[in-house]
Structure 1
Amino acid sequence: MMMRAKFLLFAAVAVGLVVLMGGALVRSSFMGRQAQERALSADAQVMILGELRLDAAIYVQSLLDAIETRRSPSGDRDSALRRVDEAFRRMRELAEQEKEAGGASSERESAQLEEVRRAQSGWVVALAELARETTPEESMRFLDNARRTFAHDVEPLLLRALERESTEKADILQETGQAFRAGELVGVVVPLGSMLFVGGLALTMLVPLRRALRDFVVSAERVGQGDFEQLLSESREDEYGLMARSFNRMARQVRDLIAERQRRAREEAEASERETRRNNVLLEETVRERTAELEQTNARLIESLQRLQAAQAQLLFADRLASVGQLAAGIGHEINNPLAFIISNLDWAQEELQRMGGGTERQCMEVGLALKDAREGAERVRLIVRELRDLARPESLESGPVDLGAVVRSAEKMAIHLIRQRARLVLEVDGAPPVLGNGARLCQVMLNLLLNAAHALEPGGAGHNTIRVSARALGAERVQVEVSDTGCGIPPENLARIFDPFFTTRPVGMGTGMGLAVCHGIIASHGGEISVESELGKGSTFRVTLPVFAKGARPAPHVAAVPVTESTS
């Protein structure tokens, strides 16, 4: 018999036994569950009947309370009737459940339950009418009457119903026990018989299979040792015979293949040696050619880098000139005001001196005051021009203590012409410790941030817009400067790119996108950090963190930077 047929027979028998045992167990479980549900229904009905007797006693007591307090017993009657109806409704539902679980539900049983319900309801109504006519002095007679009528009209029916349900419960429990015993018998006999039958069938297949596998292992070890002669008997006509013939054929093929591989290996080794010598010569020539090409490419890369550096320097210098040109209008406005009264006072002083030719002491005092005013105006012009010169000229690399308050106020003077039409500027920079850095570079950063904040606001909104600059110490080693505005804000998709060179949200021709990139480079060169928070329609806040100045401290190497006055928000 073929091994495949044996395995199919074994599988069929095993599946059949499992199905048989499963069906028996399922049937036993189903019958047990039905019996359990019927028993629970009968037990619940017994409990409900017992509760009816208890409820009757509670109802009598409530009527006695009504008699004593001279109140109407109608409410107690209606409540008792509802409880009776609810109890019998539950009993009918339990009877239906018992019927669905396989129980026998007869018309006689339903009629008996209806009789009990009518008797209990009639007793409740009659007792309520009697209580209405009873005085408190007659309460004992009422109690005796209630007990007598209940024992005569209702209790016999309740007892018969209780006896019937108890008998039914006992029968159900007996059936349940029989079903469980039958299930136990099936659960023992069927698995035991199945195990013995399947075990015997498995032995008839495993013993020959084990013998065949042992022969195959021995033959495989001989093949591994290089013995390719006749290894297995090919006389059998089952799967073992087929495997033996295939194994012997494979052994012969392996023997021929090994011989062929050895021959080809010798030929390939000889050809490989010749090819290796030729490739070595070609490789040396290729290395020399690639080395020369790399040297030429490296020279071109160095030249390109130098051109890029030169182009970057030209671009940054052009941005510096654009910044100075944009600030020229505001600075000219600041210069014209003091120059006007300087010229006026000087002209007046000249005319007075010519007319007086000496003059009184009072006249000399007035002339002195006029000249003093002219001197103050000229000093203002000098300071503004000096700040512009410090900003526009190439900065030195010198670093030292920098007063942030002075830096912010210097930037304020140069940006106030643009800010005053758009927002109210609030400065909270007093009291911050000095930082380590270059004053002109930090003034360039503050100027860029103020102009960015101003560009984020529409002209004419100075009454309700605010630009706030605050500085405070973060511990003993850092200082943080915040520049916030109430402008249009920055879209979330642009926040990650605003510090990238050449990125700008302003119209074409209005900016180069280098302002915040340069600010980022200056702050990084000072060993600090710059970040931004923004929400559309609510404004933006730029935070600059710098190290506090300490004696002996040295800043990070500077990078080239120029003032750029444009907005990215």
Structure 2
Amino acid sequence: MTVRTRILLFAAVTVGLVAVLSGALYSLATRGRSSTEQVFAMQERNTLYGKLTGDAVWVPHELLEAHGRGQEPWALLEAGQRRAEEDFAHLRELASREGRPEALSEDLALIELARRAYLDWMAHLEARVRQAGTGGGERALHESIDAFRAEVMPHLDKAWALNRERLAWRKSVRLEVLRASQVFSVTVPLVALGLVSALAATVLFTLRRSSLELLRGAARIGRGDFTTELPVKGRDEYASLARAFNRMMAELRDTVREKERLAKAEAEASEREMRRYNILLEETVRQRTTELEEANAQLLFADRLATVGQLAAGVGHEINNPLAFILGNLSYAREELERMQGAPSPLEREELLAALSEAHEGAERVKLLVQDLKMLARADDAVSGPVDLEAVLRSASKMAAHEVRQRARVVMRTEGTPRAHGNAARLCQVFLNLIINAAHAIAPGHVEQNEIRLVTRRGPDSRVLVEVGDTGCGIPSENLEHIFRPFFTTKPAGVGSGLGLSVCHRIITMHGGDITVESQPGRGTTFRISLPVHLAGAAPESGVMVA
């Protein structure tokens, strides 16, 4: 399996797992909120049934008091009927939230029967009060209550009992769902994190081992040792690169021997023979140059894959944070529902809804992190077009957040910047390398005293300028002229490959731009990048950005 295939497999597994987890957690949060609202509605119906039952006592009392004072009870009776109509209308509205058609039709039928019986009872209530006269208030009150028990209470009891039964069932079912969701939310992320960590470790180990072998071989070649043979293992990109280096060395050795032979035969060979050998030598050099360019292109892509592998641990950490408070909020909602016995207070209701809203917000954060990772991990296309530099810088800074967080603050100023012409994935690779280098130049532990600046602005002659600056240790002046040279690095062995800035320089050059650097030891470094502005109406270009 090639390195490219491994990286793409890792990216696909990571994106797939995060997408599945995001969808599952979003679905659980949505279902939990809907279930909570239904439980609240059913508890409110119980409250209304209790209120209607209580009205059977105080409504006759009010009518008897008004009759005793010589007042007409019609106003009180109409007010009571109006309140009853409003209560029954609210009951129908709450029943409609149940969501099941078969349950809705049965509930509405029982509510309608209770409403008619209640209104009929109230219609006869005023006549009973009048017939009782002044001295028969106690008897009229008892008759009214007895009539309510006989005519209305059976319908209310039936509807009330059905609602209590469904409320108890819904609570038990939802608690079981929450328990299962809690187990799912703990088990699946742990399994996913373990799988992603194993894949990342495998890819990083392979990249690090192959990179060290290539660096050692390149160093020997740089010292003029053309007898170097790089080990060839497997059939991945590094093996192809090693074979290309070995072929190049063999051809160079042959060329050197051929030149020595030509030097010895120069006195004897004719001018025609010399011309023929020169033509052969030039053709050989052209072929070797082509092979060297192909090897360089593979090195550029290998550096991009190494950057993705370097960010793998940080991505796992960034995913774990929102998952932690999603699980906490779901656990809190489950415990509060288990604790409640009756209708919740407004404060408890607001707390439950707030917890579920925070869980939903955490799922959205995981989704945004996946979108940022896809910008760097997508297949390497060569299409150039308009590029939103603000979005690219923001994605690169978020992907490098794990490296930056303990070292410095990121300050970004990008208002009013036109779109550049280029390839978003390639430019994201450039800015990500520069941000990580800036973070490594700052010692951890003093975040508030250090910053990494990302600034874009319009430049002269249809150009857009980008600055990546830091307050780190800076670069010594004797190293400034070498930093864009391949394999040049001041980092310890195994930490830097010396290809990052060389890759950045090559990508910016292929975009028709340029990159410069200013640095003062102890005060920081600033990289300035100039890119062409995208012109309106320009068609996308394919095949221009080959590296």
Q: Please say whether Structure 1 and Structure 2 have the same fold, judged by a TM-score greater than 0.5.
A: no
TM-score range, shorter chain: 0.3 to 0.5
Which structure carries more relative contact order (alpha carbon 8 Å, separation 6+)?
Answer: 2
TM-score w.r.t. the length of structure 1 is 0.43
Q: Which is higher, the Rg of structure 1 or of structure 2?
A: 1
TM-score w.r.t. the length of structure 2 is 0.45
